[in-house]
Structure 1
């Protein structure tokens, strides 16, 4: 899919100044919410050592939605997602791989450095080995983990994690109470296992109802950014639009005008080699429509609002090469 130039509308003359204000507003709010969230975590240390599964319950915590709308606003509507951290590690992080292998056909664990969320390492179902536990050597610092389960047919379990041989998040059989007051105690801090049902992502069906002026102001600039994409540095557009995703996930994206339908045409080998997921977002970056693409031609119905889409492609095995621009062709129709 090539980055073609579409005619720019006259409305860009007054939308561009608003987009610049939105960009500045987003940067300020992101910084402030990051500070508030850091204070929140410091006062509730249990949260940093528990798997937080993205769900209706987690979103009921007032600060969570603003955090996600600034840290990861391109919602992955296709995976059950759990995160744990930030926690300190001096030498090594060990992860029990049995639960992921038993929970879903496709999964990925990404280790991020905190607070800049640079990717440190990745484990996934693509590289199935014999080891039951993977140990990653790390430099002293703080780290967070994100586990994404795809193609789930039942309940999923989030694994135990150890930092320097001290349990951060335990497995299902470990019921030892946590020692949160004295993390350097000889008793390792342990937390009850976290599980989630295959219906955990049902909250996405109504997430767009959370639209308001605040979220529109935060993400107003993204639509304009994508309109101007052919004239902007690609690295800048990528940094602003794409999520902190998996290293093995490739993305295709563009803006969509109001009342505009999309026709997707896939290369004949696409479905053999990749799992392909489509999400359409409102201008507030809330999901309006999402589906797994399972046919070579797909039509996405028009919506009454301006927005943008994101297509995620995940290889089905390690031999599959990265997708090229011809994998998916997108046509826009009024």
Structure 2
């Protein structure tokens, strides 16, 4: 039971549906908001969201790329508070830089997909998504990116008690045509 107060409920759907449905909301067992259908064109915003990049969004988010480039000199808790979304505490995250004309090369052990869904979002320097997809393969390689930015992997458990992913079980490299950089 939560203490009395004002709360904001945020809902994140993993995997875009053609017609998402918002669930009923109950507070202390009482129905406060009925389930509603969302418009069928709700997800169209994602198709060209990165094309809305402009100086305003770049000014708001310029520091994220720099923060990730220099993250070894900042406390990890500070980097997490600036970068990671607020959400389910069971979600695990991996993140790093994307450089233009590079691609991500991901290698996972089977345990990463056992009892989990893995989602990747790649953002440009204005923090607008340029790629968002579910990763279902143990070995996965992206196309080359045309812009600098950063990536964020979300590991969503499908059931309680899924063990955390060990560092050795997930490897992500940033690869250019001429070399590979560990990220």
TM-score (norm. length: structure 1) = 0.49
Distance 1:282 1:318, change over 3 A: same
**Higher RCO (Cα < 8 Å, 6 or more apart):** 2
Q: Determine the C-alpha separation between the residues in 1 that align with 2:147 and 2:129.
A: 12
1:148 aligns with 2:18: no
Partner of 2:181: none
TM-score (norm. length: structure 2) = 0.85
1:314 aligns with 2:156: yes
Following superposition, the deviation at residue 198 of structure 1 comes to 7.1
Following superposition, the deviation at residue 222 of structure 1 comes to 0.4
Partner of 1:56: none
Query: What runs of 5+ residues in structure 2 fail to find an aligned partner?
Result: 177-183
Distance 1:248 1:199, change over 3 A: farther
Partner of 1:243: 85
Structure having the higher Rg: 1
Give the 3-state SS of the residue equivalent to 1:148 in structure 2.
coil
Following superposition, the deviation at residue 213 of structure 1 comes to 0.1
User: How many residue pairs end up in the alignment?
Assistant: 176
Query: What runs of 5+ residues in structure 1 fail to find an aligned partner?
Result: 1-136, 171-192
Q: In the alignment, is the contact (CA less than 8 A) between 1:275 and 1:314 conserved in 2?
A: yes
Q: Deviation per CA, 1:170-208, whole angstroms, max 9, x where unpaired?
A: 2xxxxxxxxxxxxxxxxxxxxxx4213676323211111
Q: In the alignment, is the contact (CA less than 8 A) between 1:258 and 1:303 conserved in 2?
A: yes
CA RMSD of aligned residues (A): 2.2
1:286 aligns with 2:150: no
Partner of 2:49: 207
